[in-house]
Amino acid sequence: MTGDAGGIPAVGEAVHDSARDRVGRVMGHVGPYIQLRPLTGGREWDADPHHLRPLTRAELLSARVAEANARSRQPG
């Protein structure tokens, strides 16, 4: 991970939560948990840092494409 030396992901980093099989962006750290939010927005969830891993290049590209597609479908 690109966060601190203890392996905690940095705020803003995109990670995979294996406990929920979801991808999210790190929004913060509270107590023993990491707060994640879906890349396309929505409700945050708490994740155990032991279940997080950085995205591969392919996963990150796929997530960014999904994020752009979701934005393009929004009215406005």
Has residue 5 got a pLDDT over 80? Answer: no
Has residue 39 got a pLDDT over 50? Answer: yes
Q: What is the domain count for the chain?
A: 1
pLDDT tens-digit map of 11-35: 999 999 999 999 999 999 999 999 9
For 58-75, b/e burial (b = at least 16 CB within 10 A) is eeeeebeeebeeeeeeee
Element at 46 (helix H, strand E): strand 45-47
Domain membership flag for residue 46: yes
Residue written as token pair 């990491």? 34
Domain membership flag for residue 7: no
Domain membership flag for residue 22: yes
Q: Which domain holds residue 29?
A: 14-72
Domain membership flag for residue 4: no
Dihedral sign of CA atoms 18, 30, 8, 63 in order: positive
**pTM, whole model, 2 decimals?**
0.80
Domain membership flag for residue 40: yes
Which among 59, 58, 52 has a CA at the least distance from the CA of 16? 52
Domain membership flag for residue 6: no
